Structure 1
Amino acid sequence: MIELQDFRTARKAISDHMRLTPVFAARNFGDISGFVARDRIPEMFLKLENMQVSGSFKARGAMNAALALEPEQRSAGLCTASGGNHGMGVINAARTLGVPVKIFLPTNTPQPKVKKLRAQGVDVALIGAVWDDANRAAMEHAHESGMAYIHPFADPKVIAGQGTIALELLEQQPDLDTLVVAIGGGGLIAGVATAARLLRPSIRVIGVEPTGAATLFESLKANEVATLPSVNTAATSLAPRQSSALNVDLIGKNVDRIALVSDEEMQKSAKWLWKEFGISVELSAAAGIAAVMNDRLGDPNPGRVGVIVCGTGMDGFE
């Protein structure tokens, strides 16, 4: 079990290394003609994790997991497999600790992210067609090298770190009725939903996945960890073929619904965020907006809606 104290402990541990990201009310919309729900868009409050250290929320979980390692574990360095953002978070943690780092990426990682990671001057390897392939290689390398492996989502310390977002958000905007959270492997939503429900049992939590990578949607439907035969989405950071039992369990207990959105809907939402608010995000970070703007929350009256804008980038414009 992950308890409320775990999230509070994580917040204390990482606070000197993270930014308190802002929340702002998205009101007085301009052109919303391209969205299904244009006549009934709820009041939205955006938590801008695209402004977090390393460019996404992933820095939180990576830092919390790295700080929890014993000194001798840290000294050999850190390694992981990533769709990009978690890799940047692990690099940030490694630099904070002053230890080596190696990042494994699948070949479907968007080129801007590959270039961004390589520009950090660290060891980056492209292996496998999808994240699951790169992850196997990372785990093998950790075993052979003695490096500490930091899982991007199936780790209680990582989940606790990501859940610190909920503690902040519900302090910054305490009257929210619904939270909308993008899902990749499930670390973000597992942490945010669990922490939010411990604080506010009545709050509604909606997860969002691409139609081409409905990993958690299928897992909850089957009531077990499902493995997709393939993934088909440009939002590669939301596209593992498989999650984990830990994430499926926490999400099943604390998430009300998983909505599905198309790549086209995410791209339209990313462009809208830029045009309307000057916020530049990767495709996956627009998933929550896409669910709201296309009436996928499964509730005609969702109340005041908090949306986590999870990462910066430009692939939402390509």
Structure 2
Amino acid sequence: MPHEASTSKDSAVPGLSDGDLKSILHREDPTWASIAITPCMKSEKLSALTGCELFVKYENLQYTGAFKERGALAKLLSLTADEKRRGVIAASAGNHAQGVARNAATLGIDATIVMPRHTPYVKVQQTEALGANVILDGDDYDAANVVARKKCDEDGLTFVHPFDDPYVVAGQGTIGVEMLEAVPDLDILVVPIGGGGLLSGIAIAARQIRPDIKVIGVQAQLYPSMLNLLKDQDNPIGGMTLAEGIAVREPGKLTRKLIADLVDDIVMVDERALESALSLYLNVQKTLAEGAGAAGLAAILTNPEMFVGKKVGTVICGGNIDTRLLSSILMRDIARQGRMARLRIELLDVPGQLTKVADIIATAGGNVIDVSYHRIFNDLPAKATYLDISVETNDRPHLDRIIENLRAAGLATEIATY
């Protein structure tokens, strides 16, 4: 970084022959028919919002809802007959688990997935339904990974790594081939980074087809592990991120080398940008992205000067998100737009005050959805109280008019931010 155009020889994956790489990237094995060639389409609405010509690759439309199937299949197809007979094992609480499970079943390979013991039941159920044997062990992914590695050695299984494997990297690279087949003149590719398998694979494919194309990686601000390594920075790592699919503390050894050689830049996006991007995908594009899947759009929204006027491709790498979390994100976005707000109003504690407030809001066209008084836990005089009232409005200017009308009636009003 910054990248200089590479030849296809420079772009080869260590541990993989040129012939095997070509075979994977071009999906030559007939088994690849089980993996969808997902659409890569221009979003007119998002293009207008971002100032670039934006093309979106919909990996959320894969059978398991994420791109991980590609790398899993490429790895499984590389196994010898004896390795297939003995079976495979992986550690995952998410998309990798289902990608391995589905493709192992397709190939008649026994698959064991070690998942943290507190993995939501629905994820365990979905993985078992795809044919895998699930072991619940360990308090988190790292602990589950230790268990999987131990069982791998004890039982002579083959370990299927989620990103740090040449076949897995090449499998993810099929996305890059498909994007450039669909839109050959893309200027920039914007790709999420967790462990680096997706970005490495796409970068390898892109450099072979279009050596001059610009490739940008995106990391969640709370997990900038690859950025720290390659830019020699010391940003803190850890915390609760919406982009849990790319929340990786230790990126791959193979992938970090490939990204250093092939990628132009890495940018970070904060949680608010991830939420906004996810909401835009759902409300504007009418498609569901998980947090990691929204990272590319979040980067474009955060750094518009990098992309304005360019033909840009990004990937919704997955659409598997908890519905309760999705509901919370959408409601928070509505609040940020001013279409819903909680107002704190200081009142005299006498009859008729609530009616007065409700009438002002209704006259201004607002809708009251929740009311609560705070008579005891406040620092006001004994004959005064706080009223917290939640209202629905059309937009922020409408909300501002309601607040102005309340204040004009002598009611001290603020937007509650808690």
Shorter chain as normaliser: what TM range? Answer: 0.7 to 0.9
Where does the alignment leave 5 or more consecutive residues of structure 2 unmatched? 1-11, 329-418
Shift of 1:66: 0.4
For 2:55 and 2:18, the matched residues in 1 are separated by: 23
Work out whether residues 65 and 158 of structure 1, in 8 Å CA contact, stay in contact via their aligned partners in 2. Answer: yes
**Aligned counterpart for 2:269 among listed residues 248, 258, 261:** 261
Pairwise CA distance, 1:219 = 1.3
User: In the aligned structure 1, how far is the partner of 2:296 from the partner of 2:180?
Assistant: 17
- Asked if structure 1 preserves the Cα contact closer than 8 Å seen for 2:53 and 2:309, the reply is no
Bigger Cα displacement from structure 2, 47-56 vs 110-119: 110-119
Contact 2:289–2:319 (CA under 8 A) maintained in structure 1: yes
Q: Is the 8 A contact 1:231 1:240 kept in 2?
A: no
Aligned residues: 308
Q: Shift of residue 130 of structure 1?
A: 4.1
Match of 1:290 among 298, 306, 309: 298
Instruction: Give the deviation of 1:115 after TM superposition.
Output: 4.7
The 2-side partners of 1:27 and 1:188 are apart by: 26
Q: Is the 8 A contact 2:60 2:67 kept in 1?
A: yes
- Contact 1:182–1:285 (8 Å) recurs in 2: yes
Q: SS state of the match for residue 284, structure 2?
A: helix
Secondary structure of the corresponding residue to residue 57 of structure 2: strand
Q: Structure 1 residue 300: deviation in Å? A: 5.2
Greater RCO (Cα-Cα under 8 Å, separation 6 or more): 1
SS at 1:312 equivalent: coil
Partner of 1:198: 208
| CA 284–110 in structure 1, closer or farther in 2 if over 3 Å, else same | farther
Q: Distance in 2 between matches of 1:16 and 1:102?
A: 24
Match of residue 318, structure 2, among 297, 311, 315: 311
Q: 1:37-186 residue pairs with structure 2 within 5 A?
A: 38=49, 40-106=50-116, 113-120=123-130, 122-186=132-196
Aligned to 2:241: 233
Secondary structure at the counterpart of residue 80 of structure 1: strand
- Pick from 16, 19, 26: which aligns with 2:43? 26
Task: Please report how far the alpha carbon of residue 76 of structure 1 lies from its aligned counterpart in structure 2 after TM superposition.
Answer: 1.9
Percent identical among aligned pairs is 36
**Residue matched to 1:12:** 28
Bigger radius of gyration? 2
Separation of aligned partners in 1, 2:231 and 2:246: 18
Change (3 A) 1:251 1:165: same
Cα shift at 1:266: 1.3
How far 1:181 sits from its partner (Å)?
A: 0.6
AA aligned to 1:27 is E
Contact 2:102 2:131 in 1 (8 A): no
1:99 deviates by 2.3
Instruction: Provide closer, same or farther for how the CA distance between residues 124 and 228 of structure 1 changes in structure 2, counting only shifts above 3 A.
Output: farther
Q: Distance in 1 between matches of 2:307 and 2:179?
A: 23
- Find the residue that maps to 2:101 and give its secondary structure: helix
Scaled by the length of structure 2, the TM-score of the pair is 0.68
Q: Summarize the alignment of residues 267-282 of structure 1 with structure 2, pairs less than 5 Å apart.
A: 267-282=275-290
**Cα distance change on mapping 1:300 and 1:133 into 2, 3 Å:** same
Query: How big is each residue's C-alpha offset from its partner over 1:276-318, in whole Å with a ceiling of 9 and x where there is no partner?
Result: 122112111011111112226x625461000011112233614
Shift of 1:132: 3.0
Q: Is the 8 A contact 1:7 1:163 kept in 2?
A: no
Decide whether the 8 Å contact of 2:288 with 2:319 is kept in 1.
yes
Runs of 5+ in structure 1 lacking a partner?
Answer: 33-37
Shift of 1:141: 1.4
Please state whether the residue corresponding to 1:280 is helix, strand or coil: coil
TM-score, normalization by structure 1: 0.88
Q: Give 1:243's aligned amino acid.
A: P
CA RMSD of aligned residues (A): 2.5
* Equivalent position amino acid for 1:206 in 2: I
Q: 1:119 deviation in Å?
A: 4.5
Structure 2 CA distance for partners of 1:113 and 1:290, relative to 1, 3 Å? farther
